[in-house]
Amino acid sequence: MDGLALGGLALLAGLYVWLYYNFLRGPRCRNGTSLRGKTVLITGGNTGIGKATALDLARRGARVILACRSKARAEAAIYDIRRESGNNEVLFMRLDLADLSSVRAFADAFLRSEPRLDILINNAGVHTVGKSADGFDLTFQVNHLSHFLLTHLLLDQLKHCAPSRVVVVASSVHKIGKIDFQNMHKPYMGGLVTFFQPYSNSKLANILYTRELANRLEGTSVTCYALHPGIVNTELFRNVSIWLKPILVPFSWSFLRDPVNGAQTTIYCATEEGIEKFSGHYFANCKLQEPYHQACDDAVAKKLWRFSEKLLGLVE
């Protein structure tokens, strides 16, 4: 390899390092907020962003409940988090967001066993195709509908422990999301071209839900925040077609944030003091950000709330 080629490689390597540290990695949450005496519940806290978030909050002294489907994977994560944080108050409770009966059973068990809930982090998410145990689109149910129900069932506990917070992990892909009340809850039957649509729809629903939740919580000292974690190398796409993985895996390792960096805005929304006045708003890179215009429609947010209640049987 001649000197010109080596120089070109060195330039590319330098450019990549500059891009990574200035754009890809993202900022860190630097506050020193203590969470001693606080209880945090994180859905999907056994891997990826959720695990990184759980570790940070455990280091701050919180009692951290990991709400996960797999006991074995959760217990492995708990072992790591306890060892790295020095905090033994990290526990597992089973929750399957693809089954509404599991959500209800979880909430009942949580309220019977845990006297506090100070921070609820609706973190778990999937990007897949299929039908839930309740007949809904799997992505829509896991990412939006089950979290809607979980928050509804735990809201009195959050109010009792106020000031408290609800943190909703959304995504910048809400920009291409659509709220189609005729079809968004039905099992996805599209093709490759629209493969990302159900996920994008659910992330738009996350932001609209957070907006309406803040309106309904006004005056309660319970605040809520939606966020974009960055484009993160997690297990979110573990269910994609096998032929897509050789494309996605190298790209993920090279250009996506790792889970620790991806967790920073979640941690910020859960711990930063002084952001209460921004309840219902959207954050990215540890700062307030304006979402796409369709995520700011209060009328659609209210309609989505009523639509979700009806699907869940919470209203006639």
pLDDT for 54-105, tens place per residue? Answer: 999 999 999 999 999 999 999 999 999 999 999 999 999 999 999 999 999 9
Instruction: Cite the beta strand spans of the chain per DSSP E.
Output: 39-43, 63-68, 90-94, 119-122, 164-169, 222-228, 282-284, 287-289
Closest CA to 203 of 176, 222, 223: 176
The reported pLDDT for the residue numbered 14 is 46
pLDDT > 70? residue 251: no
Sign of CA dihedral 136, 137, 139, 144: negative
The whole-number average pLDDT for the span 154-158 is 98
Rounded CA separation 97/42 (Å): 12
For the cut 50, the answer to whether the pLDDT of residue 252 exceeds it is no
For residues 271 and 127, what is the distance between their CA atoms, to the nearest angstrom? 28
Q: Which of 49, 100, 102, 43 is nearest to 67 (CA)?
A: 43
Instruction: Compute the average pLDDT of residues 137-165.
Output: 98
The 3-state DSSP class for residue 29 equals coil
- Residue percentage of the chain with pLDDT more than 90: 78
Please report the sign of the dihedral spanned by the C-alpha atoms of residue 302, residue 305, residue 311, residue 316: negative
Q: What dotted CATH number matches 31-311?
A: 3.40.50.720
Q: Which two tokens stand for residue 251?
A: 């790209």
Residues annotated catalytic, as ranges: 199
Q: What is the mean pLDDT of the segment spanning 192-198?
A: 76
